[in-house]
Structure 1
Amino acid sequence: MATQEFLGNDCLMLPRVIPTLLLRGTGLVKTTQFKDPKYVGDPINAIRIFNDKEVDELILLDITRSGEGAGPAFEVIRDAASECFMPLAYGGGISSLHDIEKILSIGVEKVVLNTAAVANMSLISEAARTFGSQAIVVSIDARKKLLGGYEVVGNRGQKRTGMDPVSFARACDEAGAGEIMLTSVERDGTLQGYDHDLISRVSKGLKVPLIASGGAKDLPDMVSAIRNSGASAVAAGAFFVFQGKHRAVLISYPSPSDLRKAFV
């Protein structure tokens, strides 16, 4: 849901600003360009901090499950969902309707499909029909091609698919996805700003919300992704867990007044 700010008798809906946490085993990490994971803490502690900061929603992605061919770590998901006061989306190792049903049944509001969506587009349609589009997010990871343009990649950026992210996003939209989460592999963890060209290309023609991810630099960068590039919401990882040029681990989130000043 979008942040609500009440000004007099008016209710102003601010765009969603969503922290993304990467789970590796039982700990949280942050990657740079999908490589070199750095340990950043315990997931439950991070969730409690974000609870206190009243964030819009939270995305939790297990980056090891798909690569290992393992299913979701349901106990870890259950622990996270039980602590999370805001809407929670989970992705990682999901490959079937049974996986989705079990994840939603333990308190997660949305599931995030990535590798499974690339391998089996029909899973999107079946999941949307069964659980409703609002519960299905398709995560698209895109990398620049040497001769220009972009390509969808799978398995945390390790597998080339040959698919164009614009066409793939539209196909996921038509298949029944409730949201598209778009991540630039090159920008991931760099704090150098979103890939606004990529966001603009993919956002055009979509009927469903687009969550921009990968490289968030500051609040003006987030505002630009929404106002100028066509995203409906923004997600970030390093921006919320690192502080200063030495990237010291410090979980943070903009205050409601800072968000209001940035987006109003």
Structure 2
Amino acid sequence: MLTKRIIPCLDVKEGKVVKGINFVGIKDVGDPVEIAKVYNAEGADELVFLDITASFEERKTMIDVVERTSREVFIPLTVGGGVNSIEDIKNLLRAGADKVSINSAAVRNPNLISEGAESFGSQCIVVAIDGKRRADGGFNVFVKGGREDTGIDAIEWAKKVEKLGAGEILLTSMDKDGTRDGFDIEFLNEVLKVVNIPVIASGGCGDIDSFYEVFKETDCDAALAASIFHYKEATIGEVKEYLHERSIEVRL
């Protein structure tokens, strides 16, 4: 049985780690490299860096932060934000990222997924899907840091990105993001029903029990969180111990 992964997310803006609620109301919480080192020492399975304004401002992701982090931490590093081309993917992997997360650019140019998978291997290509509920109960894909509704159905899009060669989906519920009232179980299960690649749950983690609930109620492969770790409400070790005691397989 594969162990479930616990992944801290570092939202980076102008070189600093920040945290917001429903993608707005940003607070500065520190230096990304120093925070990454702490999570590495605590036993994080992976780290995700998202340059949260890169797509919107059409800036490139901060290569120097990736280089400095990869020299200090020795767990897989996924980097996203402002990744628009094969060249961007290549530069991030060369800087030390293990995987690259694409969102807005994948919607704009789905071929970027297949070209990335062909050039670097599916395991390097993570498609981030930011989804929000529609009035009819379905989910739409949003891009540009949650600012733009594409009108694309999120479940259909998840099926398509797998066909195109994505190795993993980072699924964020915009309805839950920053609210701290638990992961979006319904949204996760709708996506998990239609794909066979790993899915990372994101958006809404409020406490240690949120991790237990998401692994008990869904077949997601990993859970990603920010505030609970940034504000020292729980360590990664405490989360894993809690899960282990409740028979959830984790890497201790």
Same fold (TM over 0.5): yes
Distance (whole Å) between structure 2 residues aligned to residue 17 and residue 76 of structure 1 = 22
CA distances 1:78-104 after superposition (whole Å, capped 9, x unpaired): 112222221100001111111111111
Distance (whole Å) between structure 1 residues aligned to residue 8 and residue 135 of structure 2 = 31
User: What's the offset of the Cα at 1:13?
Assistant: 4.5
Mean Cα displacement is larger for which, 146-155 or 165-174? 146-155
Aligned length: 247
What is the match of residue 51 of structure 1? 40
User: What's the offset of the Cα at 1:167?
Assistant: 0.4
What is the match of residue 123 of structure 1? 112
Match of 1:173 among 162, 171, 174: 162
Preserved CA contact (<8 Å) 2:15 2:31: yes
Preserved CA contact (<8 Å) 1:26 1:43: yes
What is the match of residue 235 of structure 2? 252
The one-letter code of the counterpart of 1:227 is: K
Equivalent runs, 1:1-264 vs 2, <5 Å: 13-243=2-232, 252-255=235-238, 256-262=240-246, 263-264=248-249
User: What's the offset of the Cα at 1:107?
Assistant: 1.5
User: What's the offset of the Cα at 1:216?
Assistant: 1.1
User: What's the offset of the Cα at 1:254?
Assistant: 3.0
User: What's the offset of the Cα at 1:243?
Assistant: 4.9
Distance (whole Å) between structure 2 residues aligned to residue 208 and residue 73 of structure 1 = 28
Preserved CA contact (<8 Å) 2:7 2:224: yes
Preserved CA contact (<8 Å) 2:169 2:200: yes
Distance (whole Å) between structure 1 residues aligned to residue 202 and residue 218 of structure 2 = 12
Distance (whole Å) between structure 2 residues aligned to residue 223 and residue 121 of structure 1 = 34
Give 3-state SS (helix, strand or coil) of 1:130's partner. helix
User: What's the offset of the Cα at 1:192?
Assistant: 0.6
Give 3-state SS (helix, strand or coil) of 2:237's partner. coil
User: What's the offset of the Cα at 1:50?
Assistant: 0.8
Bigger relative contact order, structure 1 or 2, given CA contacts below 8 A and separation 6+? Answer: 2
User: What's the offset of the Cα at 1:185?
Assistant: 0.8
Preserved CA contact (<8 Å) 1:128 1:136: yes
Mean Cα displacement is larger for which, 37-46 or 69-78? 69-78
> Percent identity between the aligned chains?
36
Preserved CA contact (<8 Å) 1:54 1:86: no
Distance (whole Å) between structure 1 residues aligned to residue 244 and residue 156 of structure 2 = 34
Mean Cα displacement is larger for which, 251-260 or 207-216? 251-260
The one-letter code of the counterpart of 2:29 is: V
Preserved CA contact (<8 Å) 1:57 1:88: yes
Distance (whole Å) between structure 2 residues aligned to residue 23 and residue 140 of structure 1 = 18
Distance (whole Å) between structure 1 residues aligned to residue 232 and residue 93 of structure 2 = 34
Output the TM-score relative to the length of structure 1.
0.89
Give 3-state SS (helix, strand or coil) of 1:56's partner. coil
Indicate the RMSD between aligned Cα atoms, in angstroms: 1.6
The one-letter code of the counterpart of 1:168 is: W
Preserved CA contact (<8 Å) 2:61 2:82: yes
Distance (whole Å) between structure 2 residues aligned to residue 238 and residue 144 of structure 1 = 23
Q: Any stretches of 5+ residues in structure 1 without a counterpart? A: 1-11, 245-250
User: What's the offset of the Cα at 1:230?
Assistant: 2.5
Preserved CA contact (<8 Å) 2:212 2:243: no
User: What's the offset of the Cα at 1:224?
Assistant: 2.8
